[in-house]
Amino acid sequence: MALVDWTLEARALSRRKADGAWLIREASLLVQPGDRIGVHGESGAGKTVLLRALAALDPLESGSLWWSGEPVSGDALPRYRSRAVYLHQAPALFEGSVEHNLALPFELRVHRGKTFDRERAAALLERLGKPPTFLGKTHGELSGGEAQIAALARALLIDPAVVLLDEPTASLDATSAATVARALRTWVDEAPSARALVCVSHDLAFLGALTERGLRMHGGTLTEQP
């Protein structure tokens, strides 16, 4: 059996609205290297709340996150958030070129020791369906779909262990979405002992092309998809 470099375990994550209604309720999930997990459900079911909880971005009513058998809290949070990266469906880009946006995370202390590689960035963008000239586009020139692709490339270039994807193809056509599914599959399969993804999407065709395990959110409750 291959050694597992890390595990991400969510134990009974729960969060309420101000009025006491559950956003997510006792959601538990184990993510291991090589996993490609899809989550679907109706709007308001708690899918985005689940991803943000997995990324340790919001306070919880109860429950806990564990990374490789250790609780995620306190001083461990910045390092954890560099390993489990959440990608919003409407990502924010900074003023400047796509290349500038892709290089910015490498200036953060948590990524010290990593270096932005322009050739690697161009190769990743090509896999995502964009030519090398895309690096020179400014943030103001990008469509919604192009902004999603730039943000996805930015997340993958910092080599996270887990990407938590919230409707990553919401602004893409079917052909572009299929290209992104192939690129993400390849990203995991290139390093199956080190990488995984959890993806929320309403696009069942996209999830079918990308993921190997299906989960459903309904009323804040997470269940395995038969």
For residues 160-182, average pLDDT: 96
Interhelix angle 174-190/144-157, nearest 10 degrees = 0
pLDDT of residue 5: 81
Compute the distance between CA of residue 151 and CA of residue 134 in angstroms, rounded to an integer.
13
Domain limits, the chain: 8-224
pLDDT of residue 180: 98
Mean pLDDT over each residue of the chain, to the nearest integer: 94
pLDDT tens, 173-184? Answer: 999 999 999 999
The CATH number corresponding to 8-224 among 3.40.50.300, 3.40.50.620, 3.40.1190.10, 3.50.30.10 equals: 3.40.50.300
For residues 36-52, average pLDDT: 95
Strands (E) across the chain are located at: 8-16, 22-31, 36-40, 62-67, 70-71, 84-87, 162-166, 196-200, 213-218, 221-224
Is it the case that residue 1 has pLDDT exceeding 60?
Answer: no
Q: Can you give the pTM of this predicted structure?
A: 0.94
**Best CA proximity match to 17, nearest among 43, 44, 39:** 44
Compute the distance between CA of residue 143 and CA of residue 171 in angstroms, rounded to an integer.
9
pLDDT tens, 83-92? Answer: 999 999 988 9
Is it the case that residue 4 has pLDDT exceeding 70?
Answer: no
pLDDT confidence bin for 225, thresholds 50/70/90: confident
pLDDT tens, 125-142? Answer: 999 999 999 999 999 999
pLDDT tens, 57-80? Answer: 999 999 999 999 999 999 999 999
Is it the case that residue 122 has pLDDT exceeding 90?
Answer: yes
CA 219: distance to chain centroid?
22
User: Which residues, in sequence order, are bridge partners of residue 14?
Assistant: 62
Q: Are 150 and 87 in contact (CB under 8 A)?
A: no
